[in-house]
Amino acid sequence: MNLYEHTIIARQDTSPSELRQLTEKYSKIVEKNEGEVVKTENWGLLNLAFLIKKNKKGSYIHFKIKGKSKVVEELEKNESIDKKLLRYLTVKVKNFDLDTNYFSKKDDNEKFEKKEKNTN
């Protein structure tokens, strides 16, 4: 089994319920193709580096997937025709970093750091 990190960027006008539907849709595609979604992260609405299809921002959803290359092929085939998505990217990795949440808010990170200092 290969390990993949897969990120999709949805249009900025996508509602939270539509984002949940997108997450469920692509998770089911992974499961149908004998893959497993290890973790799903919603990174929220972030600024894009440049305009993509007249959008300045995009809603990012990140998947950590175990599966064969067939899973990625099927995902990307479906994503290329989805009008709600701006971009997608798949990266093959050697192992997952399941502990670190890189896109959590600063307040959450500060609280976590304070808790660590207090316990030491």
pLDDT score, position 105? 61
Domains with residue ranges and CATH for the chain: 2-95+102-119 (3.30.70.60)
With a CB cutoff of 8 Å and minimum separation 6, the contacts of 2 are: 66, 67, 68, 69, 92
pTM for the predicted model, two decimal places: 0.79
- Tell me how far apart the alpha carbons of residues 72 and 67 are, in angstroms, rounded to a whole number: 8
Q: How confident is the model at residue 98 (pLDDT cuts 50, 70, 90)?
A: confident
- Is residue 115 predicted with pLDDT exceeding 50? no
pLDDT of amino acid 106: 55
pLDDT at 90: 92
| 9 strand-pairing partners | 60, 87
Q: Is 8 exposed, middle or buried (0-12, 13-18, 19+ CB in 10 A)?
A: buried
Residue 18 has pLDDT above 70, yes or no: yes
